[in-house]
Structures are given as structure tokens and as C-alpha cells.
Amino acid sequence: MSSYRIMVIDDEKIVGDMAKLSLEQEGYSVETFLNAEPALSRLKEEKFDVVVTDLKMKGIDGMEVLRTVKKLYPDTKVIMITAFANLDAAIAALRAEVHDFFPKPVKIKELKESINRALSKA
């Protein structure tokens, strides 16, 4: 049983629910959030190994989540997902040290593989 902690932030409840169900079956501890504010508060209390975040959300967006995570925990891997994928967003995310970048709808199998790669480098 793994003790890796995964945070999923997405304003679409179904994305968080599917990720939580699938990742918990792999033995990960998963917490989901519908927006970034409570997620960032939680991050200040506890370190997560991987943060999966939507890029476009009301209020704090995924780039701000990425910057905050990297400031608090430089070794935490961040995976970005977005329905609004474009080259500029992908390049900005990669420059800010995102581990992976997926367009929506994200395939859960690809997401799990990306998380496994992120954790194998941890």
C-alpha cells in the first residue's frame, strides 16, 4: 500500500470524483477540491506528492496553484489539465516546471501513468 498523497483541483466535480476513485484503487491517498482557495489552504497544512490542477478556474487559476506549490514544496510534482489547451499555456506551464500537461477530457489511464512517472522521480 502506497502512502503517496495526491491532490486534485478541478472545478468539474466529475473529474475529481473519477480521479479519486481510480487513484485510490491504486493505493494512493487522494483529496479533491472544486477550487483553488481551500486547496491552497490545505497545502499550507500538509505536503502532497503530486498536485493535479485544472488550468482555468474561477478565482485562483492553475498557474497560480503551480507557482504556490513550487514555492512551498519545490519537489512536489504538478500535473496540469485543461479544456483550453493551447501552445502558449503549455509553454508557460512547462517553463514553470509543470511535470505534465493534458488536454481535457483527460484519460484516467494517462493521468495514472503520469503520476506513476512523477513519483518514480521523487
Evaluate whether residue 56 is within a structural domain.
yes
Quick one: pLDDT at residue 87?
Answer: 77
Under a CB-based contact definition with an 8 Å cutoff, are residues 57 and 13 in contact? no
What pLDDT was estimated at residue 88? 83
The number of distinct structural domains making up the chain is 1
Model confidence at 2, in pLDDT bands (50, 70, 90)?
low
For residue 121, tell me if it sits in a domain.
no
Amino acid found at 36:
A
The answer to whether residue 107 is domain-embedded is yes
At residue 90, φ and ψ (nearest 5 deg) are -65, -45
User: CATH code at 22?
Assistant: 3.40.50.2300
Q: Has residue 44 been placed in a domain?
A: yes
Decide if 97 contacts 70 (C-beta within 8 A): yes
Residue pair 6/46 in contact by the 8 Å Cβ criterion: no
Q: Is residue 120 part of a domain?
A: no
Please list, in sequence order, all residues whose beta carbon lies within 8 angstroms of the beta carbon of residue 105, skipping any fewer than 6 positions away. none
pLDDT (tens digit, 9 = 90+) per residue, 24-70?
Answer: 999 999 999 999 999 999 999 999 999 999 999 999 999 999 999 99
Grid-cell match 477540491, residue found: 33
Question: Structural domain of residue 98, as residue ranges?
Answer: 5-112
Task: Please report whether residue 122 resides in a domain.
Answer: no
| pLDDT digit string, tens, across residues 80-121 | 998 876 778 777 877 878 999 898 899 999 999 999 999 996
For position 68, what pLDDT does the model report? 96
Rounded CA separation 13/116 (Å): 23
Report yes or no on whether pTM surpasses 0.85: yes
Residue 24 is assigned to a structural domain of this protein: yes
For residue 59, what pLDDT is reported? 93
In a domain, 118, yes or no: no
pLDDT at 1: 42
d(CA 24, CA 15): 14
Instruction: Cell numbers for 122, please give them.
Output: 521523487
